[in-house]
Amino acid sequence: MLGEVQQLDDFNEDDSDLQSQNTSVDDDSENLQRAVKNTDLADEETTARSLFEDPEVREKVLRITNSEVPLKEPPIPTCPIIEPSTKISKSLYQIQKYINAFEYNHTGQTFFCMKRDRGMKHVTTIAKEIMRDAFPIQCVEGVFLGTYLTAQIKSVTRIPVSFKSEVDGKVYRHIILAVEHKNKWGALGISRRKTLAYKEMKYDSLGDLMKEYKESYEGSWHELLKIYVGLPFSRDSFSSTKLQWRVLKVLLEDRSWEKNSALLNKFSKDCGAFLEYFCYTGELPPAFVASYYDTDHETRKSSLKLGKKGGKLRKTTKN
């Protein structure tokens, strides 16, 4: 199957991606630094447990919680002012710098309640909470920030792209915001690994951008299994129309990259019309089924339709 509609659930999956964060450690925390280096940061729970089991680390944590160690108020990132005359690539870079300023949340627990089955109004509300509270964030919050801050840039198309990868039998999920302007593609986001976050707007197609991410995953010893692409985000920051985060699913292990890249490029050209059709009818057009379903599997006659609850997209298969 080349592509299929995915059911939209809450953000309750393991949204762990990969990124290593440069952590500044002063002289009084050398043991903490040593413990971090000797711990696999891909497993947040194991990291926290291992660190707290160290007597010196536990003592330092208790000193901090008991206010024995004076701590400065963490700085609140300054939101960039995007001028209409600013070059698009520069505006996107300023937004990415702002996202990076929040730093990555390594606790494994999010500080914000984010839902997939909501509209742009929900994204706007949560993005403002993130900006106000200035807590560390993960990849989903990074996409919320990028979506909200690019809403004012009318010439940029924003499309959510999710990844599923595997290493040593463990599955990881990640999400970025693909952006397009005048047939050039880039991405906004945050990750524990820089190569899986921001991408400069220099790629000629969505397929080329995804190839860059695929190679970045391989450079991190991850096997990229699936790529999910949603419909473009509305420019109405207060729309209640439910966002479609995962419409196309690309299974990388089933076909050559050339075929998958062609599929992604085709979808990038069709998704604008799909969004318009969806906004009017609440469902994807028949052309989606005809163009993105694998006709080789004729014995599996499948239909795509909307679920009754919350406008969620789901696939039903007829035997």
Indicate which residue of 16, 191, 205, 220 is catalytic.
191
207's enclosing H/E stretch is: helix 206-219
Instruction: Give the C-alpha separation, 305 to 147, whole Å.
Output: 27
- The verdict on whether 240 is a catalytic residue reads no
User: Which residue out of 174, 216, 222, 271 is catalytically annotated?
Assistant: 174
- Of the candidates 16, 91, 106, 139, the residue annotated as catalytic is 139
Contacts of 109 (CB under 8 A, 6+ apart): none
Query: Does residue 174 carry a catalytic annotation?
Result: yes
Sign of CA dihedral 112, 113, 114, 120: negative
What is the Cα–Cα distance from 252 to 259, expressed in whole angstroms? 9
- Please, what sign has the CA dihedral across residues 85, 87, 88, 92? negative
Among this protein's residues, is 139 annotated catalytic? yes
The DSSP-derived string for 60-82 is HHHHHHTT-S--PPPPPPPPP--
Residue 87, burial from CB neighbour count under 10 angstroms (0-12, 13-18, 19+): exposed
User: Which residue shows structure tokens 């080789």?
Assistant: 296
* Lookup result for tokens 């290593």: 20
- The residues that are catalytic are 139, 174, 191
